[in-house]
Amino acid sequence: MSKICEICGKAPRSGNSIIRHGLAKYKGGIGLHTTGISKRRFLPNIKVVRAKTSTGGVTRMKVCAACIKAGKIVKP
């Protein structure tokens, strides 16, 4: 199942998961040090909803929660 919103095109994005150890300087330590960086994915909050189409029919669509909240789809 693809994780792409059919309304706005929001899709998975990549980023880093950064692990830091140490005590912060303001707490009396020598500062935080990065001890590990690994890749991760940020996935959109995709829901399958029934929505009215422009032709007047009803179909199932994969839509992100942001589009549902913004009212970009009309539920039957």
Count structural domains, the chain. Answer: 1
Domain membership flag for residue 5? no
pLDDT at 1: 65
Domain membership flag for residue 76? no
Q: Give the pTM.
A: 0.76
CATH number at residue 24: 2.20.150.30
Domain membership flag for residue 4? no
| 63/46 Cα distance (integer angstroms) | 5
Q: pLDDT (tens digit, 9 = 90+) per residue, 31-61? A: 999 999 999 999 999 999 999 988 889 999 9
Instruction: Provide the residue range defining the domain that includes 60.
Output: 13-70
Asked whether 64 and 72 are in contact (CB, 8 A), the reply is no
The CA–CA distances, whole Å, from 46 to 19, 22, 56, 61, 65 equal 28, 37, 23, 10, 6
pLDDT at 68: 96
Domain membership flag for residue 23? yes
Domain membership flag for residue 6? no
pLDDT at 56: 86
